[in-house]
Amino acid sequence: MVMEINGRTGFFCLIGSPVGHSGSPAMYNYSFQKTEQDYVYLAFDVDLDKTEEAVSALKALGCKGVNVTMPCKTKVAELADELSDAAELIGACNTVVVKDGKLHGHNTDGIGFVRNLKEHGADVKDKVITVMGAGGAATAIQVQAALEGAKKIYIFNCKDKFYANAENTARKIENKVPGVTVEVYPLEDSQKLYEKIKESDILVNATKSGMKPAEDESLIKDVSVFQPDFVVADAVYNPRETKLIREAKAAGCKIALGGIGMLLWQGEAAFRIFTGESMPTEEVYERFFRG
């Protein structure tokens, strides 16, 4: 059944800048139609200095929920009335529900990452995980892995402007989540990197390495670390299969995943937070993500 927009149709939206390239409106509108829900989803280009004004306007207009992209994620976390544990630890929201005039902020990036692992038969609980990266995606993955019971997290990042963020995330996770240890090392220390990877069950790349136009790049030069039971996952989804994932598969890793599944499942998590229902992920994947 095709749902027609009417006087009672509820609306959700994406805010951030730029948003013109975003696949979110197509994905959510398709999912609302498939699940027969009387909602529409729009995208609004909002700069950082207009975030507060935009959020007030959306509240006044009765918007039911908002996805947030750069550069507004941190500001929206500051504006939220309540934050999920993940959003609080990350300090950024990508999903906000408006209920009784209050903003409930979430971050679904890490949820999407962990869910994608589970869909492929891997879990973070009681595992040792090495995550390369300290930006938005990496922080979300580190936080969610800790919240879902990871035993140890090793963070590696170049000594760039993100390094302090890794140290800050480690401190915040250890203060808030009992039973997990988080250690931070420079990515330039390749001896330490391989030593920690050998101790790990899961290796994650959440840096921009391997992302177009740097698709010939992988941070792992010594492919002997890739053993069959070792799980390798990339946040990068452009290209769909990075050099890291190609090499992990070639070396026999049974679970080696590109970032597209994380993207799909973070959208599904937001859809569930928005509507209380599951997104039709198989159809959404076929239609919008197969590439």
Sequence ranges of the binding site for shikimate: 22-24, 69, 94, 109, 237, 266
Residue 171: other Cβ atoms inside 10 A: 12
Give the one residue of 72, 211, 279, 284 binding ligand NAD; rule: CB under 6 A.
Answer: 211
Binding range to ligand NAD, per CB under 6 A, among 19-27, 168-176, 205-213, 268-276? 205-213
Query: In sequence order, what are the residues at sequence separation of 6 or more whose Cβ sits closer than 8 angstroms to the Cβ of residue 78?
Result: none
Any residues with CB less than 8 A from the CB of 246 and at least 6 apart, and which? Answer: none
Residue 71 binds ligand NAD, judged by CB under 6 A: no
**Nearest by Cα to 152 from 164, 139, 170:** 170
Sequence-distant (≥ 6) Cβ neighbours of residue 143 within 8 angstroms = 86, 89, 90, 107, 110, 169, 173
C-alpha distances (whole Å) from 32 to each of 9, 235, 246, 279 are: 11, 27, 35, 8
| Catalytic residue (one of 59, 64, 73, 127) | 73
Contact 129, 150 (CB under 8 A): yes
Task: Between 38 and 78, name the residue whose CB sits nearer to ligand NAD.
Answer: 78
What would the x/- binding string for ligand NAD be over residues 224 to 263, using CB under 6 A? Answer: -----------xxx---------------------x--xx
Of the two residues 58 and 138, which places its CB atom closer to ligand NAD in the complex? 138
Distance (Å, rounded) from C-alpha 227 to C-alpha 229?
6
Task: Out of 37, 130, 157, 200, name the contact with ligand NAD by CB under 6 A.
Answer: 157
Omega prior to 186 cis, within 30 of 0: no
Using CB positions, name the residue nearest to ligand NAD: 135
Smallest distance, ligand NAD to C-beta of residue 169, A? 11
Query: Binding site: which residues?
Result: 22-24, 69, 85, 94, 109, 133-137, 235, 237, 259, 266
Spatial distance between the Cα atoms of 268 and 273, rounded to a whole number of angstroms: 9
Q: Is 73 annotated as catalytic?
A: yes
Per CB under 6 A, which region of 7-15, 158-166, 193-201, 247-255 contacts ligand NAD? 158-166
Q: Coil, helix or strand for 288? A: helix
Name residues contacting ligand NAD, limited to 95-154 (CB under 6 A): 109, 112, 133-138
Binding mask 72-91 for ligand NAD (x = CB under 6 A): --------------------
Provide φ and ψ at 280, rounded to 5°.
-75, 75
| Residue 54 binds to ligand NAD (criterion: CB under 6 A) | no
Residues binding ligand NAD (CB under 6 A):
109, 112, 133-138, 157-158, 160, 162, 206-209, 211, 219, 235-237, 259, 262-263, 266
Active site residues: 73
